[in-house]
Amino acid sequence: MKVLVFIKRVVDYNVRVKVRPDGSGVDTDGVKMSINPFDEIALEEALRMREAGQADEVIVVSAGTSDCQQQLRTGLAMGADRAIQIDTDKPLQPLTAARAFQALVEQQQPGVVLLGKQAIDDDNNQTGQMLAALWGRPQATNAAKIELSGDTARVTREVDAGLEVLDIDLPAVITTDLRLNTPRFVKLPDIMKAKKKPLDVVALDGLVSDAGNDLKIGNWSPPPQRGKGIMVDDVAGLVTELKSRGLL
Amino acid sequence: MSKLLILAEHANGKLNPATAKCVSCAVKIGGDVHIAVFSDSGQAVAEQAARLAGVSKVLNIEHADFTDPLAAMIAPELAALASGYSHLLAPSSMYGKDVLPRAAALLGVNQVSDIMSVNDARSFTRPVYAGNAIIEVSVPEDMLVAATVRTASWAAAEEGNSAEIEQLAAQSERPSHTRFVELQSEGGDGPDLQTASVVVSGGRALGSAENFELIYQLAKKLKAGVGASRAAVDAGYVPNDMQVGQTGKIISPELYFAFGISGAIQHITGIKDAGTIVAVNKDADAPIFELADIGLVGDLFQIIPELEQALD
C-alpha cells in the first residue's frame, strides 16, 4: 500500500509574524520556513505505518515554487521514499490544492492520504475535507489515533465533546492533530541520503486547470491590541480589582 | 436579496449555542435566514432553532443516516439543499470545520473560514497566522458564499421568535464507507467551556491530574467552565476537550483566569476575545502578563486557596 502525504512550506511556528506596513501581507524576508507542523505529524504517521509493515511506500508531495523542495528534502530525510513537487508560483487556495491533489491521487492510487488538519499560515482547515469530497472517499479529520486493519481504518478524532471514533473504508483521507505522534528528528546521515532520493517535478497545470483560486484577498492588518493591564500584589488586591470592575 | 442557510449543530436534543452565534453573523450579512437541522429525530432541536430571532424558517431533515454527526453523510445533503441559497454558513467548531469544506468542494466553491466581521454580503474579515494578522476576503459575485463563523467573535442571537418549521426528506445519495463507532466524552458537570461567562484554566504548573482538582474547586465556586493549556493536556492532567487555544477551543468569556499558564501564542489565540483576563504565574516574565488585564505574580498553590477563602 502506498501512503501519500501532502506537506506545506510555511513560516516556522516559532516565528512571530508581522504584518507589512502597507497591508500587503506578512513579512517573510529572511524568515525561517518549515514543514507545517501538522503535516510533519502526518508524515511521521506514514513512516510509522511503513515501519509497522502496513505500507510499502511513502510519497511526500508539496505544491509551490522550487523553494518547497527544501521541505520535501526534509521529508525525504525523515524517511519518505520519494517526493513530488507540484510546481506553481501562486499560493493555492484550498479548493485548487484539493483539485491538484486529487489528480495526483488518481495517478498514484494510494491506500491512505495523510495531511495536517490545517496549515498554520492561512489556518483554513479545508484541504483534506475538500480532497475527500472530490475523491468521493471517507475523511477522518483531527486524528489522534489511527489503527489500520486490512481495508479499513479505525480513527480516533479530537472533537469538541471529547474523542470520536470512526471506522472508515480505505482508501481514505486522514488529517492529523497534535497528539497523534511526535515527529522524529532528522539525523545528518539521513540528510545526505535524502539528496539521492527521487524528487519529481510536475506542473500544476498538468494536473488541473487553475480554476478555484477565486477568493479575493484584500488588506492585511495587525490584530487589535488589548489595553495595557495592571499588576496586583496579592489576592486581596485581585479581589478588590475584580469587584471594582463588577466581575465578582 | 441574500438567502442564507445555516447548518445547525446539536447533540442529545439540544441546539448548540454556536448556532445562535451563526444566526447573528447571518443577520449582519442580511437577508432571509434559514437553519437546517440534520438528525434522526430533530423536532425538539428544530423548535429551539425556530425561537432564534432573525430566523425565518427551519428545515428539519430526519433520517437514520443523520443519527451521528458524520460529514460524509451530511455534506452531500447540505450541498443538495444549497441551490437557491446565496450563503451557506456553519459554526467554526470541530463539527462545522468537518462538514462545510466537504459540502463546499461538492459544490465547487472555495470556503471562507472563521468570519470575524462582515464588511458586506460578500466581504469579510478573518484571522490568519494564529490571529497574528487579520485579512479581508471577498467572494466573487454570483458565487455561493460558503463560510464558517468564528463563534468567539459573535454574540448569540436572542430568543423569542417562532419561525416556520418545514419537514424535508433526505434526497442525496449517502455513502456506506464511513461508520460511527462511539463518542468518548468525559462530560464534566460544570458549565460548558465554550459558553461559560467565567472560565478558569490551568497549565503545566499544576504538576499533576490530582493537583488540577484545585482548578475544578475554584471553578465550582465561581460557577465557571474549566479549561487547560496544551501543556496540561499533553501532560495528561486533563482530557483534550478542555484545551483552550489555536488547536483547541477559542473562547470569549467575560472573565478568564489563567493559573500557571505561561502564555504561548497558541494559547493566547484562544483567549484574546475574553472580556477580562486574570493571570497568576510564578514567573514574572511569563508572556501571559503582556496580555493579562490583571496580573499577579505568585505560587498558584497558595493563591488559589486564598482566593477561594476570599470568595466565601
Q: What is the CATH number of the domain that holds B254?
A: 3.40.50.1220
pLDDT at B187: 63
Cβ contact A226–B293 (<8 Å): yes
At B189-241, the pLDDT tens digits run 678 898 899 999 999 999 999 999 999 999 999 999 999 999 999 999 999 99
Mean pLDDT taken over chain B: 95
Nearest C-alpha in B relative to A96: B110
Can you spell out the DSSP letters for B56-76? Answer: EEEEEEE-GGGSS--HHHHHH
Taking residue B104's Cβ as centre, other Cβ atoms within 10 Å add up to 31
Residue B129 has pLDDT above 70, yes or no: yes
Cβ contact B185–A163 (<8 Å): yes
Q: Nearest CA of chain A to the CA of B202: how many Å? A: 17
At B275-302, the pLDDT tens digits run 999 999 999 999 999 999 999 999 999 9
Cβ contact B180–A121 (<8 Å): no
pLDDT at B265: 87
With H, G, I as helix, E, B as strand and everything else as coil, classify residue A14: coil
Taking residue B158's Cβ as centre, other Cβ atoms within 10 Å add up to 13
Of residues A203 and A224, more confidence is placed in A203
Contacts B223 to A, Cβ<8 Å: none
Q: B168, B190, B220: which is the final residue of a domain?
A: B168
Confidence class of residue B99 from pLDDT cuts 50, 70 and 90?
A: very high
Domain count for chain A: 1
Domain count for chain B: 2
Residue range A96-123: mean pLDDT, rounded: 97
Residues B81 and B145 in one domain: yes
Q: With respect to residue A240, please indicate whether it lies within any of the assigned structural domains.
A: no
Q: With respect to residue A233, please indicate whether it lies within any of the assigned structural domains.
A: no
Q: With respect to residue A74, please indicate whether it lies within any of the assigned structural domains.
A: yes
Q: With respect to residue A12, please indicate whether it lies within any of the assigned structural domains.
A: yes
Q: Give the B window 44-63 contacts with A, CB below 8 Å.
A: none
Cβ contact A214–B140 (<8 Å): yes
Residues B258 and B148 in one domain: no
Enclosing domain of residue A17: 2-217
How many CB pairs (< 8 A) connect A and B? 241
Mutate one of B14, B92, B110 to test the A interface: name it (highest A CB count within 10 A): B110
Residue range A31-55: mean pLDDT, rounded: 97
Q: Nearest CA of chain B to the CA of A101: how many Å? A: 13
At B39-79, the pLDDT tens digits run 999 999 999 999 999 999 999 999 999 999 999 999 999 99
Residues B232 and B146 in one domain: no
Contacts B267 to A, Cβ<8 Å: none
Contacts B137 to A, Cβ<8 Å: 215-218
Contact criterion met (CB below 8 Å) for A175 and A162: no
| Chain A contact present for B156, CB below 8 A | no
Residues B20 and B140 in one domain: yes
Q: B168, B183, B216: which is the final residue of a domain?
A: B168
Mean pLDDT taken over chain A: 96
Q: With respect to residue B92, please indicate whether it lies within any of the assigned structural domains.
A: yes
Q: Which residue has the cell 468525559?
A: B186
Confidence class of residue A136 from pLDDT cuts 50, 70 and 90?
A: very high
Report the range of poorest mean pLDDT among A115-124, A207-216, A226-235: A207-216
Q: Which residue has the cell 475527500?
A: A132
CA distance B126 to A79: 36
Q: With respect to residue A152, please indicate whether it lies within any of the assigned structural domains.
A: yes
Confidence class of residue B188 from pLDDT cuts 50, 70 and 90?
A: low
Q: With respect to residue B181, please indicate whether it lies within any of the assigned structural domains.
A: no
Residue A210 has pLDDT above 70, yes or no: no
pLDDT at A248: 87
Residue B186 has pLDDT above 80, yes or no: no
| A16 CA to centre of own chain | 19
Cβ contact B179–A168 (<8 Å): yes
Q: Which of A115, A112, A32, A44 is nearest to A80 (CA)?
A: A44
C-alpha cell at A170: 480505505
Residues B163 and B275 in one domain: no
Residue B310 has pLDDT above 70, yes or no: yes
CA distance B62 to B169: 7
| Chain A contact present for B238, CB below 8 A | no
Residues B283 and B237 in one domain: yes
Percentage with pLDDT > 70 across chain A: 99
Residues B248 and B203 in one domain: yes
Residue range B117-122: mean pLDDT, rounded: 98
Q: With respect to residue A238, please indicate whether it lies within any of the assigned structural domains.
A: no
Residues B79 and B221 in one domain: no
Residue range B106-122: mean pLDDT, rounded: 97
Q: With respect to residue B177, please indicate whether it lies within any of the assigned structural domains.
A: no
Contacts A242 to B, Cβ<8 Å: 255, 276, 278, 294
Out of B75, B180, B298, closest to residue A166 by CB? B180
Residue range A110-116: mean pLDDT, rounded: 98
Q: With respect to residue B188, please indicate whether it lies within any of the assigned structural domains.
A: no
CATH of the domain at A187: 3.40.50.620
Residues B125 and B213 in one domain: no
CA distance A137 to A132: 5
Q: With respect to residue A38, please indicate whether it lies within any of the assigned structural domains.
A: yes
Residues B144 and B216 in one domain: no
C-alpha separations of A42 from A45, A80, B55, B79, B237 in Å: 5, 12, 41, 29, 25
CATH of the domain at B69: 3.40.50.620
Enclosing domain of residue B105: 3-168
Out of A95, A165, A230, closest to residue B181 by CB? A165
pLDDT at A159: 94
pLDDT at A212: 75
Q: With respect to residue A228, please indicate whether it lies within any of the assigned structural domains.
A: no
C-alpha cell at B127: 484571522
